[in-house]
Structure 1
Amino acid sequence: MNLKQSRQRIYNIGIIFAFVLAINGVSAFYFLRIDLTQEKRYTLSPVSKETLRALPDQVMVRVYLHGDLPLSFRKFAQNIRDQLNEFRVYGGSKLQYEFIDPYESGDERQIQATVEKLYKAGLQPTSVKMRDQKGGYSEKMIIPGAIVSYGNRDFSVNLLSNNPAFSGEENLNHSVQNLEYNLINAIRSVTQTRIEKIAFLEGHGEWDEYHTGDLMKALSNYFQIDRGQLRGNVESLQPYKCLIIAGPTQPFSEEDKFIIDQYIMQGGKVVWLLDAVNIDRDSFAQGNAYATIAQLNLDDMLFRYGVRLNPALVQDIQCALIPLATGATTGQSKFVPTPWPYFPLLSGAFDHPVSRNLNLIKTEFCSYLDTLQVAGIQHTVLLRTSKYSRIKNAPAFVRLSEVKQGFREEEFKDSYLPIAVLLEGKFPSVFQNRMLTALKITGHYSFKPHSVPNKMLVITDADIIRNQVKQTPRGILISPLGYDSYTSQTFGNKDFLLNAIQYLTDESQIIMLRSRNIELRLLDKSKIMEQSTRWKMFNTLTPLILVIMAGMLFQQWRKKKFAQ
């Protein structure tokens, strides 16, 4: 009887052992996890699953975050790996990935060449502190980004959020939140077969292709970019998904307004970047400039759509710095960084995917908007000033000497002025109930008094889209959009505009993935300091006590068994 029981026991143990081996074998080839988190951080959205299931051929994701990394970035790299493994559940063998250490070769020249190559490809290196074996710290350049390849197409994606307004832990948390969006957006971009068109309007003094060059280059990863004038042809905008009106300085004719109006009525998206006030920047060489009201002949259109541009300059305590000459030393002027309230730094709406978790947005001589009640139109403020702002109505002088007087918070009594507003709904035509026979229009059209459900974005600063341009012996040098050459800081202008245009044009609404919120659950550092000894003792002694108790119980069980 005892022999049979022993055999049965060995048999049962063998079955359990074989079952565990089978589970391990299957898990080595298949990725599976159950999402028990409150915010479902490990659950893919339907649009991601659809994109991955529809991959036409193999997509390769090369992640350059590997090797000797700080603990926080090792965890981030593991988050990226987990996300890609989740992607492979739906993409199968068509989605491949590898993690690459740019420092693996150990050769300084080769490492430098690799980093420069990745930088030229669009990946942004970042410096981190590393603890060495002696307990000290050293700095290391890492590249928290990836290149997604499909056929002969590559798409570079920076995976680390680097907003100076947030702590390092918060930036990493935001980066984890945006992993699904950043990677799916890159995969969708390299595999898309149909390329939509976007037009930059010309003919009214808008910014040229150089001053909008960096955004145009970024948009070319998703769209075909064209520039041109309307020339009275009502059909000229029909091929385009979106129209960008970037900084006009001359009034619009009624014919051009009619063409844009009917383009909107048919579902065309428009991004308006308008200056309500003109200011001659060259006049600041003499210490002051005169701000005048811009005459664009667009007030009636925008009023009809639900917004009004106010002809005033906005000042804000939260502002950019400018170099101001304070005197001369050794025959040369001395420049010091000085806050300039006419260059407000705007905050984005945290609850909207276009603007959440972005760096501050830099503006120059911006105005502000009023939203108007129009039936069926929904307003969403995407960018606004800080709590401490004020307005100066045009016409008015702007003097550099104002900074010498100083700025006090109590003088800035206007809070959270709207600068960028998203409009959504069915827009009424500004030409409804108006005679159209006087318009000199070519092309075939059927007048529409109301639009289909549509969207547009109105921004009261044309400089948000303008990158710096420098003439060099090698030609024209275009700086990154949002880059401030004086402080060497890059603001969030490009990310904001890319997000906005994608929100307007993408029917699949991948941009909504940016709405995902993962709560950052940090440990209470004060409690850690107070209770560290207690928890160390608990973690050390508890396993020993459990082992001793288990041994005692087992011994008691043996005594009872053999006593019987």
Structure 2
Amino acid sequence: MSSTKRSIKDLSRSLAIIAIILLIAFIGQSLYFRIDLTKEKRYKLSSETKSILKKLDETVIIKVYLAGELNIQLNSFQNSIRDLLEEFRVYGRRNIQFEFVDPFDKVLPQEHAKVVEMLYEKGLKPVNIHHRKKDGSVTEKLIIPGASVNFNGVEIALNLLLNDPSKSSEENLNNSIESLEYSFISAIKNLTTTQFKKIAFIEGHGEWPDEFLSDIMHELSKSFQVDRGRINAQPGILDPYACVIIAGPVSKFSEADKFVLDQYLMKGNSILWLLDGVNVDFDSLAVGYSIALPNELNLEDMLFRYGARINPVLVQDAQCNELVVNIALAGNKPKFERVPWLYYPIISPNTEHMVTHNLNMVLTRFVSSIDTIEGRTNIKKTPLLTTSSYSRSIKTPAVVELQEMNNPPLPEELKEQNILAGVLLEGAFESVFKNRMIENYFDGEPPAVIKNGQSAKMAVIADADIIRNDIVRTENGAESLPLGFDRATNRTFGNKQFLVNLISYLSGDTELIQLRNREIKLRLLNKAKLSDERFKWQVINMVSPLVLLIVLGIAYNTYRPYRYSK
């Protein structure tokens, strides 16, 4: 073959390759696709997320307060956030804008407290971490592992780093990564939605007043229109609501109010019952003791018919919160210490359900137990909250004293396991008033009775305090603390997120909450094996590249003369 023909052939081949590359580039610009090869599909967005992002018609601005010098784990967390937001921008296009900032950058050390206070007022919580400097020394560093999502001047703060004391740092970080898509897209949805479902808190039976519900109502108002009101024996008054919440009643329900609730449920709606099985006056404990008495609400027949029963008992659990008490003898200088209080169980939520997946532990106070009725076979019963393996139930009436801290029960006395404190019931319920005469409940013509209901949902929680935020009295009046925050231990429990998830589920908003079921398998190194085989793998990593290069060199030098000898 002449040199001219060979040159023409080489040129044609080069032009063909260039043409193929340009064609691939053109197709890549026109058609976008990505392939997620991870087993858990960790980089794949849900269809609901994609739909929300594609419908954006104005810009969402996201500011992530996680930048600067971070340790390895937080660098990994930062990269996961960045990857997710890059994926958001693929579907949201120019309407998703984000940046990573260090809130303490170019800020004098003496001004750091003001920055923390400003961000805390937005709802972002600071976290102390151990930071290793370049010289090898280890110091504590304050970070803000959160973000703000802004749409049309309205902003939602997100705390992205979960902190469950019962889990390791690796597990908390992994759970935080699993929750990222849900956290960001739920905030975007809440900011961009113009029509909200309606939910209602029931009044008229001594339920918690506004000041004790202010934090949860504020949180729910981001996703729902939240109302409060009385039933007043008016059939159909609850029909506009997707879910009603009965939080902490202390007086009996009339048969007429019960009928309205029953028929509301028969129409396929949802109810959240937050009921104390026992009344305990905590203020009386400070001066001596309190008598725990059954909380009679006239709801027992309803709950039994639906498939649950709240027992008039008090639950003690070795896995409990602490109280700050004065342990000094009378007449001596006060000495305050934190002492376990078994009547305040800290409950680990069921990790198998979307409502409770990846949740922090939930704080309860004077909680009772729940039995489910086996005869209600058409009702699906899902445990949501159960105690630890070291619990017991105390029958009432009973005397509750702070002095019990000095004489805790023996370990063998706490032998009950996984006492049920919260349950989800789903199915077609049967009316409590199916075979009852209701003429005496109403003036005039009584309403028709729906005897067998449509498919509906309810949750029964045997603790009304689970929804109550604490308040502090100041010169400016009562100030509400965040729900789940405990002043004695300075810890924040998962009460708020648990209730928001549960109410969203009961209201039918399950598309986004299903994202909480996403599970990224935590693949940790075997530290014992790593220590034993460290030298072996160091040798392999050092020698194997050199051996590979030698083999490739020999192969190339053997093949090259053979090729050019033809």
Q: TM-score, normalised by structure 1?
A: 0.93
Query: How far has the Cα of 1:536 moved from its partner?
Result: 2.0
Query: How far has the Cα of 1:231 moved from its partner?
Result: 2.0
Structure 1 segment 23-422 matched on structure 2, within 5 A: 32-108=33-109, 112-328=113-329, 331-372=332-373, 373-422=375-424
Query: How far has the Cα of 1:2 moved from its partner?
Result: 4.8
Distance 1:200 1:332 in 2: 46
Distance 2:273 2:424 in 1: 10
Q: Any idea what SS the aligned residue of 2:225 has?
A: strand
Q: Given the superposition, is the C-alpha separation of residues 329 and 550 from structure 1 closer, same or farther in structure 2, using an over 3 Å criterion?
A: farther
1:187-245 deviation per Cα after TM superposition (whole angstroms, max 9, x unaligned): 11111111222211111111110111111111111112222212222233222222111
Distance 2:391 2:465 in 1: 19
Structure 2 runs not aligned, ≥5 long: none
Distance 2:113 2:31 in 1: 38
Q: Any idea what SS the aligned residue of 1:212 has?
A: helix
Q: 1:423 aligns with which of 406, 422, 425?
A: 425
Distance 1:326 1:170 in 2: 37
Distance 2:31 2:136 in 1: 40
Q: Any idea what SS the aligned residue of 2:357 has?
A: coil
Query: How far has the Cα of 1:437 moved from its partner?
Result: 1.1
1:90-115 deviation per Cα after TM superposition (whole angstroms, max 9, x unaligned): 33333232222223334446655444
Letter in 2 for 1:487: T
Q: Percent identity, aligned pairs only? A: 43
> Conserved in 1, the CA contact under 8 Å of 2:122 and 2:157?
yes
Larger deviation, residues 111-120 vs 147-156: 111-120
Aligned residue number for residue 497 of structure 1: 499
Q: 1:481 aligns with which of 462, 480, 483?
A: 483
> Conserved in 1, the CA contact under 8 Å of 2:428 and 2:452?
yes
Q: Given the superposition, is the C-alpha separation of residues 441 and 207 from structure 1 closer, same or farther in structure 2, using an over 3 Å criterion?
A: farther
**1:436 counterpart = 2:438:** yes
Q: Given the superposition, is the C-alpha separation of residues 191 and 273 from structure 1 closer, same or farther in structure 2, using an over 3 Å criterion?
A: same
Aligned residue number for residue 509 of structure 1: 511
Q: Given the superposition, is the C-alpha separation of residues 508 and 410 from structure 1 closer, same or farther in structure 2, using an over 3 Å criterion?
A: closer
Larger deviation, residues 414-423 vs 357-366: 357-366
Query: How far has the Cα of 1:401 moved from its partner?
Result: 2.4
Query: How far has the Cα of 1:54 moved from its partner?
Result: 2.5
Query: How far has the Cα of 1:32 moved from its partner?
Result: 5.0
> Conserved in 2, the CA contact under 8 Å of 1:235 and 1:445?
no
> Conserved in 1, the CA contact under 8 Å of 2:439 and 2:445?
no
Query: How far has the Cα of 1:314 moved from its partner?
Result: 0.7
Q: Given the superposition, is the C-alpha separation of residues 3 and 78 from structure 1 closer, same or farther in structure 2, using an over 3 Å criterion?
A: farther
Larger deviation, residues 7-16 vs 345-354: 7-16
> Conserved in 2, the CA contact under 8 Å of 1:325 and 1:334?
yes
Letter in 2 for 1:524: N
Larger deviation, residues 139-148 vs 199-208: 139-148
Q: 1:462 aligns with which of 425, 444, 464?
A: 464
1:302-348 deviation per Cα after TM superposition (whole angstroms, max 9, x unaligned): 11111011111111111111123322498432222211111111111
Q: Given the superposition, is the C-alpha separation of residues 562 and 318 from structure 1 closer, same or farther in structure 2, using an over 3 Å criterion?
A: closer
Query: How far has the Cα of 1:11 moved from its partner?
Result: 6.2
Q: Given the superposition, is the C-alpha separation of residues 350 and 269 from structure 1 closer, same or farther in structure 2, using an over 3 Å criterion?
A: same
Aligned residue number for residue 449 of structure 1: 451
Distance 1:462 1:502 in 2: 19
Q: Any idea what SS the aligned residue of 1:80 has?
A: helix
Q: Given the superposition, is the C-alpha separation of residues 10 and 551 from structure 1 closer, same or farther in structure 2, using an over 3 Å criterion?
A: farther
Aligned residue number for residue 538 of structure 1: 540
Q: Any idea what SS the aligned residue of 2:393 has?
A: strand
Distance 1:532 1:28 in 2: 46
1:503-554 deviation per Cα after TM superposition (whole angstroms, max 9, x unaligned): 1113453111111111101111122222222222222222222223322322
Letter in 2 for 1:491: F
Q: Any idea what SS the aligned residue of 1:452 has?
A: strand
> Conserved in 2, the CA contact under 8 Å of 1:368 and 1:418?
yes
Distance 1:323 1:513 in 2: 39
> Conserved in 2, the CA contact under 8 Å of 1:56 and 1:191?
no
Letter in 2 for 1:523: L
Distance 1:3 1:136 in 2: 69
Letter in 1 for 2:34: R
Query: How far has the Cα of 1:173 moved from its partner?
Result: 0.6
> Conserved in 1, the CA contact under 8 Å of 2:438 and 2:446?
no
Q: Given the superposition, is the C-alpha separation of residues 533 and 248 from structure 1 closer, same or farther in structure 2, using an over 3 Å criterion?
A: same
Q: Any idea what SS the aligned residue of 1:351 has?
A: coil
Q: Any idea what SS the aligned residue of 1:536 has?
A: helix
Query: How far has the Cα of 1:177 moved from its partner?
Result: 1.1
Q: Given the superposition, is the C-alpha separation of residues 448 and 104 from structure 1 closer, same or farther in structure 2, using an over 3 Å criterion?
A: same
Query: How far has the Cα of 1:350 moved from its partner?
Result: 1.0
> Conserved in 2, the CA contact under 8 Å of 1:305 and 1:427?
yes
Distance 1:563 1:183 in 2: 64
Q: Given the superposition, is the C-alpha separation of residues 123 and 286 from structure 1 closer, same or farther in structure 2, using an over 3 Å criterion?
A: closer
> Conserved in 1, the CA contact under 8 Å of 2:319 and 2:346?
yes
> Conserved in 2, the CA contact under 8 Å of 1:482 and 1:492?
yes
Q: Any idea what SS the aligned residue of 2:39 has?
A: coil
Distance 1:143 1:442 in 2: 62
Distance 2:28 2:65 in 1: 26
Distance 1:441 1:77 in 2: 64
Letter in 1 for 2:181: E
Distance 1:62 1:443 in 2: 59
Structure 1 runs not aligned, ≥5 long: none
1:32-60 deviation per Cα after TM superposition (whole angstroms, max 9, x unaligned): 53122222222222222222223243322
| RMSD of Structure 2 on Structure 1 (CA) | 2.5
Letter in 1 for 2:136: G
Letter in 2 for 1:493: N
Q: Given the superposition, is the C-alpha separation of residues 480 and 258 from structure 1 closer, same or farther in structure 2, using an over 3 Å criterion?
A: same
Distance 2:491 2:443 in 1: 47
1:382-416 deviation per Cα after TM superposition (whole angstroms, max 9, x unaligned): 00111111111111112222222233221112111
Distance 1:138 1:424 in 2: 51
Distance 2:395 2:321 in 1: 21
Distance 1:508 1:167 in 2: 29
Distance 2:176 2:336 in 1: 37
Query: How far has the Cα of 1:247 moved from its partner?
Result: 0.6
Letter in 2 for 1:252: F
Aligned residue number for residue 554 of structure 1: 556
Aligned residue number for residue 528 of structure 2: 526
> Conserved in 1, the CA contact under 8 Å of 2:59 and 2:95?
yes
Distance 1:401 1:98 in 2: 54
Larger deviation, residues 74-83 vs 19-28: 19-28
